[in-house]
Structure formats: C-alpha cells, structure tokens
Amino acid sequence: MIKLSKETGWSVEDIMDEIKNLDKKPSSQAEKYKQLFEKYYEEALKLRERKDYVQAGEKLWGAVTALIKLYAAKKNVFVSHWSHRDLRQFVKKIR
C-alpha cells in the first residue's frame, strides 16, 4: 500500500477509502474526487513554495489522478486505473 501511495501521490488512507468504495456507483464518488483534487493541489502548491519539488510533483500527480477520476465519475464511468499509462489512455479515449 505504501508503494501505491508513493506512485499515486495519494495517502494510504485515501487509497484504502477508494478500495472500500469500489462497489459504489461511480457518480456517487464525484464529490469525494473533487475534495481529493483540492486537497492534493493545495498540498502541491505548499510544497512548491518550500522548494520541495519532488514531493510537490507527487502531490500534483495525485491531484491530476483525482481530477481524471472526478471527470469519469461525473460521466458515471468506473475508472480503477492508477498507473500513468492507464490514465493517459483513458484521457486519450475521451478526447
């Protein structure tokens, strides 16, 4: 779980919550993804101000992941992907 947390930019708690809610209708998770986007984006900005660019980049990736999942949830599409490649392919399909 820690490795996934580092790769996604999400906290272990947020990943666990995501896993617990896999059976829920995607559209019901939209507000959660919006909050996660805001949380990780704010964290990225604060880390950038402290010149911790590596951590800022990880949190920014977490924000992007949440934003993609927010879009999918609003379209009622289930997205379980976490990898950069899989999310990029999802984004390419929606263009």
Domain spans of the chain? 2-94
Q: What is the pTM of this model?
A: 0.85
Average pLDDT over residues 38-43: 97
Burial of 67 (0-12, 13-18, 19+ CB in 10 A): middle
CA dist 11 and 4 (Å) reads: 9
Q: How far apart are CA 87 and CA 95, in angstroms?
A: 13
Q: What's the mean per-residue pLDDT of the chain?
A: 90
Instruction: Read off the pLDDT band of 81 (50, 70, 90).
Output: low
Q: Is pLDDT at 40 greater than 80 in this prediction?
A: yes
Q: Across 4-13, 17-26, 42-51, which has the greatest mean pLDDT?
A: 42-51
Distance, CA of 19 to CA of 38 (rounded, Å): 20
pLDDT band for 33, please (50, 70, 90 cuts): very high
Spell out the alpha helix ranges (H) of 1-95.
2-8, 12-20, 30-49, 53-74, 84-94
